[in-house]
Amino acid sequence: MKTKILFLGAIVLLLLSGCAAPPRPEQNLSINTTQNLTQNLTPSPNVSCGNETCFIAAANNCKAMDLTLTDDAGTFSYSSTSACVFTKTLVSLGANESQDMKQLLEGKNMTCIYEQGKFDPRLVTSLLYGIEYCDGELKDGLGSLAVFS
């Protein structure tokens, strides 16, 4: 009988000492994981790039970045996010383009999802190439132009 009481006393003592001990690191794992997920889901503000090379490097690494470029063809706005999402917007076409083409394409955008390290630079350097994995009104408009030309 004394042995049973001593045995039960030892178990109670072990339980109490376990409850009073500081938490082990793995006990805080869910809290830390939740905090890390929350930090990773918080969108970082986009930074602006001054040229294609800077933007392509940032997009390839899934960095939040914005770039607006103007040339003879028109003005294009590019955006990449930390979730590896690229958006291309045709802000305005050049003055030498027809009014019909301007109505079809201006202000339209397309969105492309890609894997980190596999960004297709042609999305920035070309009007048509690299858009096979994109969706949006700009892609649709460019597709209809390609069919009718």
Q: How far apart are CA 59 and CA 34, in angstroms?
A: 27
- Position 82 scores a pLDDT of 97
Domain presence at residue 55: yes
Model pLDDT for residues 67-95, shown as the tens digit of each residue: 999 988 899 999 999 999 999 999 999 99
Which H or E run includes 88? strand 85-93
- Position 147 scores a pLDDT of 64
Determine the structural domain holding residue 106 and report its residue range.
Answer: 47-148
Domain presence at residue 8: no
- Position 21 scores a pLDDT of 40
Domain presence at residue 38: no
Domain presence at residue 79: yes
- Position 54 scores a pLDDT of 95
Q: In the chain, which stretches have pLDDT less than 70? A: 1-47, 147-149
Closest residue by Cα to residue 113 from 127, 89, 139, 131: 131
- Position 40 scores a pLDDT of 40
Q: How far apart are CA 144 and CA 104, in angstroms?
A: 9
- Position 17 scores a pLDDT of 39
Domain presence at residue 144: yes
Q: What total number of domains does the chain contain?
A: 1
- Predicted model pTM: 0.67
- Position 141 scores a pLDDT of 94
Q: Report the DSSP pairing between strands 74-80 and 65-71.
A: antiparallel
Domain presence at residue 139: yes
Domain presence at residue 77: yes
Domain presence at residue 64: yes
- Position 36 scores a pLDDT of 38
- Position 138 scores a pLDDT of 96
- Position 149 scores a pLDDT of 53
